[in-house]
Copies of this chain bind each other. A is one copy, B any other.
């Protein structure tokens, strides 16, 4: 019978609001105490899988500084404290791609690092798109938009051109829940 650890105390040692970091004292089910287990709380994310009327999927190409390289992923953004993830999804899709969607389907969430961070990436399928042709980017953002078929996405994953775990996991979740939307 698996048991959870017991949290004895939590200390906020965040170096910055952009990297929330906590020191935990925890007690394991076997009675042992760990005085210093560190976890981050980077924050939940909304991830958007937007599908055009000709079944192309929108991806974004941009520099990511953690990896130190240019990635191809799904549009996504951190959810501000207390905001409904769908609101974030709509805003991020527009800001990063210039597209708006009339219809959204909720997919549920995936977790990038369960061992060190409990943040969840909530996935949404976006349908009935309109292209406003206007991105609204932050000062740190520079984003190219790609439209790929379902088959091309598999090629990109196979060739290591798409490596973001959340993007791949969200695509997989969407294919399992809504296979009828992934036809070409």
Contact = CB atoms under 8 A, between A and B. Distances in A.
Given A2-B144, A5-B65, A112 B166 contact: yes
A133 interface: no
B157 A172 contact: yes
Interface in A137-183: 139-140, 142, 144, 154, 157-158, 160, 163-166, 168-169, 171-173, 176-177
Contacts of A64: 114-115
Contacts of A3: 63, 142
Contact of A68 (B118, B140, B171): B118
Contact of A165 (B26, B36, B42, B166): B166
A132 interface: no
Q: Give the interface size class of chain A.
A: 35 or more
Given A4-B70, A165-B121, A30 B177 contact: no
A177 B36 CA distance: 41
B37 A65 contact: yes
A29 interface: yes
Contacts of A29: 142
Contact of A67 (B7, B114, B177): B114
B109 A28 contact: no
Nearest to A4: B63
A44 interface: no
A32 B139 contact: yes
14 contacts: A4-B69, A5-B65, A16-B36, A39-B65, A66-B113, A67-B117, A67-B118, A109-B163, A111-B164, A112-B112, A157-B172, A168-B168, A168-B172, A169-B172
Given A21-B21, A66-B117, 6 more contacts: A4-B70, A16-B36, A67-B117, A112-B166, A165-B165, A169-B172
